[in-house]
Chain A
Amino acid sequence: MYPENLRYTKEHEWVRVEGDVGVVGITAHAQDQLGDIVYVDLPKLGARLEQGKALGSVESVKAVSDIYAPISGEVVEVNDTLSTAPEKLNQDPHGAAWLVKIKLSAPDETKALLSADEYQSYVGAEEAGH
């Protein structure tokens, strides 16, 4: 379920490294927990993000949830389609519904993130705890 080429956070974001750019999104588990997503608040182009700090927020019918930057760097592209079609996050969270692209300022940071297997078992444990 969780693609091998992504790295994951315990806050349910993912990053896919392409050269010196990281594509960032939220996981299938995150969108499933949120339910119908109706609003996405993303940073502006050029914003400087710091790993673990708030990147933006995503809102479902029921609740609002923070998104944290999985890696540090400068925002070089924002997925504007999400402002008019936030429901895409429910449909393709690991693909077309990426959030931002970040020019990595500290590429080594990805090493501390979870692999697909590690994230899968983390989520499994979290679900079992409910």
Chain B
Amino acid sequence: MTQPVAVLKTTPLHSAHRKLGAKMVDFGGWDMPVQYSGILDEHQAVRQRVGLFDVSHMGEIEIRGHEAGAFTDSITTNAVAKLKIGQAHYSGLLYEHGGFVDDILVHKVADDHYFLCVNASNQEKDFEHIAAGNQSGATVEFASGRYAQLAIQGPRALATLGKLTTTDLAAIVYYHFVDGVVSGVPARIARTGYTGEDGFEIYIAPDQAERIWNEILGAGAEFGIKPCGLGARNTLRLEAKMALYGHEIHASITPWEADLAWIVKMDKGEFIGRAALLKQKAQGVTRKLIGFEMTGRGIGRDGYEVLLDGVPAGWVTSGGPSPTLNKNIGLCYLPCDRAKPGQRIQVLIRSQPVEAVTVATPFYKRAK
């Protein structure tokens, strides 16, 4: 029996993952490692020591020119004008109707140069969306092919990466970055991450990726570093309540609903989606994202229905076991007036309503 096999995209570290015995999965068209030693083991490594992730599937878009700042401000929700050189922020890319095209990181490299990190499976769509709206003098470049990206995350991330660079990593403030050198080659080193731990995300040339990957594993060996896959990345980001595109946010969800008002700066001037957000705020937001913990036996998974007083009222966007809290946690949409901590809900797990309660988020916050 032969089936047509879709050709999956691969990162420069594909053969390195195979050599390490990773389990690979199709992640939005990319052949990516879901786990190496096991999701729980990798999760604990990041919370307690340090983990290394290949996130080279993520996309990069660069915006340059005199009008780059004003243009980037006009297509994103956060206030680009307030960014200092060497600073980054989390932001939203919206449709005119206020739903998410993507959630992104915007880095200000120079007054006339902005570097966007975008989701892997959205990168072509994002580029088209941005380029289509560009009536300014700024140039928009689809730059994904020029970068591999590695995430070094956990309390020993600084000590690990510090062995491979002369850049003063301790001087890089959270959500700031420097263009420095790692393992002898240029690297954009950002103190950012998707795990809820301290750590760095580095952007390097693809042909250097496997060498640097191996050098980081070597540098972190004394701390018990683990290569980590998308499985642990998901449990870690869920505990930290970081949104995942296609789950918490998508084209039919606005930042108000997704509890992401903090990345929307309505007073900064016009941007794509602003009018729709203004209108939704005036009319009233009807649903909101809220965290929950299972109190009954079972795990509320993505897409499961949520009941209030026995009546369907919302849905789970992400759910699973929290290795750190040893509880089954999740995020769900509920009507606004009930989307508050302490609300008893039921999650419909395979036709069985199972008890849960809404809770404050994030589920996990690291000690500073």
Q: Is the interface of A mostly helix, strand, loop or mixed?
A: strand
| Residue picked from A35, A36, A61, most chain B C-beta under 10 Å | A61
B63 at the interface (CB under 8 A from A): no
Are A35 and B299 in contact (CB-based, < 8 A)?
Answer: no
A61-B320, A62-B34 are contacts. A38–B299 as well, Cβ < 8 Å?
yes
CA distance A63 to B320 in the complex (A): 8
Smallest CB separation, B298 vs chain A (Å): 7
Are B40 and A39 in contact (CB-based, < 8 A)?
Answer: no
Neighbouring A residues of B35 by C-beta, 8 Å:
35
Interface residues in B284-299 by Cβ distance below 8 A to A read 297-299
A57 at the interface (CB under 8 A from B): yes
B301 at the interface (CB under 8 A from A): yes
Q: Which of B34, B297, B299 contacts A64 (CB 8 A)?
A: B299
CA distance A59 to B321 in the complex (A): 10
Are B299 and A36 in contact (CB-based, < 8 A)?
Answer: no
Q: Which of B234, B299, B323 contacts A39 (CB 8 A)?
A: B299
Smallest CB separation, A129 vs chain B (Å): 8
Q: Which of B40, B298, B301, B328 contacts A36 (CB 8 A)?
A: B40
Neighbouring A residues of B160 by C-beta, 8 Å:
none
CA distance A14 to B350 in the complex (A): 24
Are A35 and B231 in contact (CB-based, < 8 A)?
Answer: yes
CA distance A101 to B35 in the complex (A): 33
CA distance A60 to B38 in the complex (A): 11
Number of interface residues of B (CB under 8 A): 18
Neighbouring A residues of B109 by C-beta, 8 Å:
none
CA distance A5 to B147 in the complex (A): 53
Are A35 and B298 in contact (CB-based, < 8 A)?
Answer: no
Q: Is the interface of B mostly helix, strand, loop or mixed?
A: mixed
Smallest CB separation, B353 vs chain A (Å): 15
Residue in chain B with minimal CB distance to A66: B350
Neighbouring B residues of A61 by C-beta, 8 Å:
39-40, 231, 235, 320-321, 323
Neighbouring B residues of A64 by C-beta, 8 Å:
299, 301, 350
Neighbouring A residues of B38 by C-beta, 8 Å:
35-36
Smallest CB separation, B286 vs chain A (Å): 30
Interface string of B341-353 (1 = CB under 8 A from A): 0000000001000
Neighbouring A residues of B328 by C-beta, 8 Å:
39
CA distance A64 to B235 in the complex (A): 15
Are A59 and B299 in contact (CB-based, < 8 A)?
Answer: yes
Neighbouring A residues of B34 by C-beta, 8 Å:
35, 62
Smallest CB separation, B322 vs chain A (Å): 10
Interface residues in A31-72 by Cβ distance below 8 A to B read 35-36, 38-39, 41, 57, 59-64
Smallest CB separation, A46 vs chain B (Å): 19
CA distance A80 to B64 in the complex (A): 62
CA distance A79 to B158 in the complex (A): 46
Smallest CB separation, A58 vs chain B (Å): 11
Neighbouring A residues of B301 by C-beta, 8 Å:
63-64
Residue in chain B with minimal CB distance to A62: B231
Interface string of A12-41 (1 = CB under 8 A from B): 000000000000000000000001101101
Neighbouring A residues of B235 by C-beta, 8 Å:
61
Neighbouring B residues of A57 by C-beta, 8 Å:
350
Query: Which B residues have a C-beta under 8 Å from some C-beta of A?
Result: 23, 34-35, 38-40, 231, 234-235, 297-299, 301, 320-321, 323, 328, 350
Query: Can you report 27 A-B residue pairs in the complex whose CB atoms are below 8 A from each other?
Result: A35-B23, A35-B34, A35-B35, A35-B38, A35-B39, A35-B231, A36-B38, A36-B39, A36-B40, A38-B299, A39-B297, A39-B298, A39-B299, A39-B321, A39-B328, A41-B298, A57-B350, A59-B299, A61-B39, A61-B231, A61-B323, A62-B34, A62-B231, A62-B234, A63-B301, A64-B299, A64-B350
Given A36-B39, A61-B323; 7 other pairs, CB 8 A cutoff: A35-B38, A35-B39, A38-B321, A39-B299, A41-B298, A61-B235, A64-B301
Query: Which A residues have a C-beta under 8 Å from some C-beta of B?
Result: 35-36, 38-39, 41, 57, 59-64
